[in-house]
Amino acid sequence: GENVEQHPSTLSVQEGDSAVIKCTYSDSASNYFPWYKQELGKGPQLIIDIRSNVGEKKDQRIAVTLNKTAKHFSLHITETQPEDSAVYFCAARRPTGGFKTIFGAGTRLFVKA
Amino acid sequence: EAGVAQSPRYKIIEKRQSVAFWCNPISGHATLYWYQQILGQGPKLLIQFQNNGVVDDSQLPKDRFSAERLKGVDSTLKIQPAKLEDSAVYLCASSHVGDPTNEKLFFGSGTQLSVL
């Protein structure tokens, strides 16, 4: 079955620096790769996504890149702010079998002021 | 637009007791999911409904977990009897399947279950 690995598990950056989180997936049939942000006591919230026919997508300070050949995708956050501190999950979804979304284990991001 | 509603927010029970969680998805969302999130891990799918039918329950421990979505709207997830390892946050999510290529998940805040 599909497996999504995420690194690092914890990331600490200084305010204003960039943060990069990397994920790999195993199922080459996966075609949709969302990123979710989870704050304490809340459910995950979608912040950006990318489809397999696109190599890069940007939304203000966040961007995602996808390398289909290597089955890698990454989240980039620039000019980090304290409110970016949260747990970030990558995920992969295959287009068959009920569109199951498989999540990575998460990265806890600390942004130090 | 109202989000996904879940209750209760917290539940503490002893092992071998039973517990039930409730979820009301976003209006119009045909697909409903229950995820289990153990501390320090990503959400793991337990069961997926399309309207009131089960699409995927391959990861649901059916000897103790059950779920239903009788009228294709609200859903309940039950655990009976609970084990210590069931301690986790139970997340409900919904999605709109109007466009199958645009299935974004909307999560509720979850129910945090502690089994003592």
Q: Residues 20..39 of A with a Cβ closer than 8 Å to B: which? A: 32, 34, 36
Cβ distance of B103 and A93 shorter than 8 Å: yes
B108 vs chain A: nearest CA distance in angstroms? 5
CA dihedral angle for residue A79, residue A38, residue B5, residue A46, rounded to 10 degrees:
60
What is each CA distance from B96 to A46, B12, B50, B59, B101, in whole angstroms? 14, 33, 10, 22, 10
For A35-85, the pLDDT digits (tens) are: 999 999 999 999 999 998 889 999 999 999 999 999 999 999 999 999 999
Cβ distance of B56 and A46 shorter than 8 Å: no
pLDDT given at position B102? 52
Q: Is B53 on the interface with A (CB under 8 A)?
A: no
What is each CA distance from B39 to A28, A79, A80, A81, in whole angstroms? 29, 29, 25, 25
Residue B85: strand pairing partners = none
Cβ distance of A46 and B104 shorter than 8 Å: yes
Cβ distance of A99 and B103 shorter than 8 Å: yes
Q: Is B27 exposed, middle or buried, given 0-12, 13-18 or 19+ CB atoms closer than 10 A? A: exposed
Mean pLDDT, rounded, for B35-44: 95
Nearest-angstrom CA–CA distance, B63 and B80: 8
For A91-102, the pLDDT digits (tens) are: 999 876 667 889
Nearest-angstrom CA–CA distance, B62 and B51: 20
pLDDT given at position A97? 62
Pick from B43, B45, B56: which is nearest to A44 by CB?
A: B43
Nearest-angstrom CA–CA distance, B6 and B109: 7
Chain CA centroid to CA B55, Å:
14
